[in-house]
């Protein structure tokens, strides 16, 4: 067979190289570094903005907070607890953002999930706590199914459906709380204690260290075997140094978190240990990362978000994918609601679902998820949620009045979205 003129295409590549994400083409760390720099200059900064934001927020609040209390172990654990809600909300919001949709109702849906669970663990009916959690999540999933079906089957804009949902579930929340206006989980029954203990129950320090070793070892094994296997069989694989760097980074982050949590932060009685909410958040992160990046459904979510028509022509049932994204969004919101309920010791009609939506969107977008669909990972919610949590926590420490907290949070959201828009613009021009 005669060779076609294919080699002429090589000239196109010099232009394309700048835009290629590092793990794809780099074979050595040096090359990886140069490609990464080229990509940042090209407008697609990946995790860089969120890491810079996290560092900046930490430095600013450490300097400004009275006695630099921001970096105290006590406050940092508090920050982790507060961030957990934003992180998990952002995990949920991520599913619909990946499709270029939005869910404005997630704050009040989360609240309903928390309230249903909290009411089920009350002395009557005293439902076992795992069942109560499942029931709360099931209610949220149903709400997601309803909203998702309205969007996909009746072709209503997600913005309008979930804006209506925002009002409806706000109303339903008040109805559920009844005349008491609240429901608590600080009672002494085991089932209430289990919900409360999500945030205020702590893992024994020794067990936390053992758990950390197990987690890091498992992560290292999985990553090492995958990357080494791909390198051996000549498939596209990240350089060895990158694999090692990732493992070391995870180990260091884990050690820091466990070490901070294992410092005694009690005033009168000793309080030590990792709050249960931290492994819970990591479990959700793992589950949604695997679902999105290692399973067929996730691939279809990215395809539908990137090019709905292409996905449809590839035989993907985009209606089901979109509906499921709303279900997963609301259900994950329910997990956040239960964490919130634990953190507040119960739910009241004071819950500000509107603010929670903004935090969820802000966390996901700051983390690197695009509002325009097709780009984002569960990990974005973790990093972005920490930034939002740090701002929320820091502003509180500074004792700024609520109006300033609102204004600053709004500005942070705008800044995050502008990064997203700019990177989209420059990649469109590439």
Partner 1 sequence: MELMTGPTGVPARTTPGRAPAAAPPDEEPLLRLRGISKHFGAVQALYGVDLDLPRAKVTALCGDNGAGKSVLTKTIAGIHAADHGQIFWEGRPVTIRTPNDSSALGIETVYQDLALADNLDIVQNMFLGRERVSGIFLNEDSMERAAAETLAELRVTTVRSIRQPVATLSGGQRQAVAVAKAVMWNSKLVMLDEPTAALGVAQTRMVLDLIKRLKDRGLAVMVISHNLNDVFEVADRVAVLRLGRMVAQADTSTLDRESVVDYMTTGVSSRVVQGPASQRSEA
**Among 303, 333, 358, 305, which residue's Cα sits nearest to residue 114?**
333
Indicate the length of the chain as a whole number. 430
* For partner 1, the closer CB: 98 or 133: 98
- Determine the angle formed by the axes of helices 129-152 and 158-177, rounding to 10 degrees: 150
Q: Considering only residues 272, 306, 320, 415, which one is a binding residue for partner 1 as defined by CB under 8 A?
A: 306
For residues 23 and 13, the answer to whether their CB atoms sit within 8 Å is no
**Cβ distance to partner 1 smaller for residue 21 or 171:** 21
- We find the least distance from the C-beta atom of residue 375 to partner 1, in angstroms, to be 6
Provide the minimum distance between the beta carbon of 94 and partner 1 in the complex, in angstroms, as a whole number.
14
Query: In this structure, are residues 386 and 53 in contact, taking their beta carbons and an 8 Å threshold?
Result: no
- Residue holding tokens 């945030």? 199
Contact status: 315 vs partner 1 (CB under 8 A): yes
The verdict on 155 binding partner 1 (CB under 8 A) reads no
Contact region with partner 1 (CB under 8 A), list: 105-113, 305-313, 324-332, 380-388: 305-313
To the nearest 10 degrees (0 to 180), the angle between helices 106-120 and 158-177 is: 30
For tokens 């995958």, the residue is 226
Residue 324 φ/ψ, nearest 5 degrees: -65, -35
Compare residues 24 and 249 and give the one whose CB is closer to partner 1. Answer: 24
What is the rounded radius of gyration, in angstroms, for the C-alpha atoms of the chain?
23
Nearer to partner 1, 34 or 299 (CB): 299
How many residues bind partner 1 (CB under 8 A)? The answer is: 49
| CA separation, residue 175 to residues 105, 116, 182, 349, 412 (Å) | 16, 12, 10, 10, 33
Half-sphere exposure of 344 (CA within 13 A, CB side): 21
- Which is nearer to partner 1, 13 or 248 (by Cβ)? 13
> Among all chains, which residue has been given the structure tokens 């024994």?
204
Binding residues for partner 1 restricted to 167-226, rule: CB under 8 A: none
**Piece of the chain touching partner 1 by CB under 8 A; list 11-19, 142-150, 211-219, 346-354:** 11-19
16 binds partner 1 (CB under 8 A): yes
Q: Which is nearer to partner 1, 298 or 333 (CB)?
A: 298
Tokens of 409: 């949070």
Contacting residue, 51, 236, 283, 286, with partner 1 by CB under 8 A: 236
Q: Which of 155, 267, 294, 429 binds partner 1 (CB under 8 A)?
A: 294
Please give the distance of CA 145 from its chain centroid, rounded to a whole number.
Answer: 21
Among 37, 52, 253, 310, binds partner 1 (CB under 8 A): 310
Rounded CA-CA distance 247/418 in Å is 32
Interaction between residue 1 and partner 1 (CB under 8 A)? yes
Q: Is 299 in the site for partner 1 (CB under 8 A)?
A: yes
For 361: left if phi > 0, alpha if psi spans -120 to 50, otherwise beta; the answer is alpha
User: Residue 395 and residue 61: Cα distance in Å, rounded?
Assistant: 8
Residue in the structure block whose two tokens are 């990046």: 293
- Give yes or no for residue 233 binding partner 1 (CB under 8 A): yes
Measured between alpha carbons, how far is 405 from 411 in angstroms, rounded to an integer?
Answer: 10
137-145, 214-222, 292-300, 324-332 -> range binding partner 1 (CB under 8 A): 292-300
| Residue 21 interacting with partner 1 (CB under 8 A) | yes
| 351-390: contacts with partner 1 (CB under 8 A) | 374-375
From 69-77, 81-89, 136-144, 296-304, give the range in contact with partner 1 by CB under 8 A. 296-304
- 24 vs 51 by CB, closer to partner 1: 24
The verdict on 407 binding partner 1 (CB under 8 A) reads no
**Minimal distance, residue 79 CB to partner 1, in Å:** 33
Strand 346-348 to strand 182-184: parallel, antiparallel, or no bridges (unpaired)?
Answer: antiparallel
235 belongs to the binding site for partner 1 (CB under 8 A):
yes
For 141, residues 6+ apart whose C-beta sits below 8 A from its C-beta are 327, 330, 331, 334
Among positions 59, 230, 287, 418, the unique one binding partner 1 when judged by CB under 8 A: 230
At its nearest, how many Å lie between partner 1 and the CB of residue 235? 5
Comparison of 142 and 314: residue with beta carbon closer to partner 1 = 314
Half-sphere exposure of 312 (CA within 13 A, CB side): 6
| Residue 313 touching partner 1 (CB under 8 A) | yes
Residue 34 interacts with partner 1 (CB under 8 A): yes or no? no
**Which of 121, 170, 115, 130 has the alpha carbon at shortest distance from 340?**
115
38 binds partner 1 (CB under 8 A): no
Give residues with Cβ within 8 angstroms of 270, minimum separation 6. Answer: 264
Residues near partner 1, by CB under 8 A = 1-10, 12-13, 15-17, 19-21, 23-25, 229-230, 233, 235-236, 290, 294-296, 299-300, 302-303, 305-307, 309-316, 374-375, 427, 430
């Amino acid at each position: 067979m005669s060779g076609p003129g294919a080699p002429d295409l090589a000239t196109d590549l010099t232009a394309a190289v700048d835009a290629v994400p590092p793990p794809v083409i780099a074979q050595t760390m040096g090359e990886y570094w140069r490609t990464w720099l080229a990509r940042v200059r090209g407008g697609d900064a990946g995790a860089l903005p969120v890491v810079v934001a996290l560092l900046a927020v930490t430095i600013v609040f450490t300097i400004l907070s009275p006695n630099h209390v921001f970096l105290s172990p006590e406050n940092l654990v508090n920050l982790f607890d507060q961030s957990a809600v934003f992180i998990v909300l952002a995990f949920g919001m991520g599913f619909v953002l990946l499709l270029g949709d939005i869910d404005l109702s997630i704050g009040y849906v989360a609240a309903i999930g928390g309230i249903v669970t909290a009411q089920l663990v009350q002395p009557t009916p005293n439902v076992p706590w795992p069942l109560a959690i499942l029931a709360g999540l099931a209610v949220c999933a149903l709400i997601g199914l309803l909203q998702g079906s309205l969007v996909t089957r009746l072709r209503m804009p997600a913005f309008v459906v979930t804006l209506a949902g925002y009002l409806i579930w706000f109303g339903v929340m008040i109805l559920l709380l009844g005349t008491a206006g609240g429901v608590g989980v600080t009672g002494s029954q085991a089932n209430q204690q289990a919900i409360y203990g999500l945030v205020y129950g702590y893992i024994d320090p020794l067990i936390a260290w053992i758990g950390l070793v197990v987690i890091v070892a498992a992560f290292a094994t999985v990553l090492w075997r995958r990357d080494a296997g791909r390198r051996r069989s000549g498939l596209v694989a990240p350089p060895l140094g990158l694999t090692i760097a990732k493992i070391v980074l995870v180990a260091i982050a884990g050690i820091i978190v466990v070490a901070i949590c294992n410092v005694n932060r009690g005033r009168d009685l000793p309080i030590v240990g990792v709050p249960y909410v931290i492994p819970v958040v990591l479990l959700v992160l793992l589950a949604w990362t695997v679902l999105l990046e290692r399973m067929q459904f996730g691939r279809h979510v990215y395809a539908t978000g990137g090019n709905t028509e292409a996905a449809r022509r590839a035989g993907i049932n985009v209606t089901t994918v979109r509906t499921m994204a709303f279900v997963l969004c609301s259900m994950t919101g329910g997990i956040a609601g239960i964490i919130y309920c634990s953190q507040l010791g119960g739910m009241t009609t004071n819950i500000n679902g509107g603010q929670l939506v903004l935090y969820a969107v802000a966390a996901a977008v700051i983390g690197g998820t695009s509002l325009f669909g097709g780009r984002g990972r569960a990990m974005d919610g973790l990093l972005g949620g920490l930034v939002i949590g740090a701002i929320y926590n820091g502003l509180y420490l500074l004792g700024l009045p609520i109006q300033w907290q609102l204004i600053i949070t709004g500005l942070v959201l705008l800044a995050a979205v502008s990064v997203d828009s700019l990177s989209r613009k420059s990649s469109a021009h590439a």
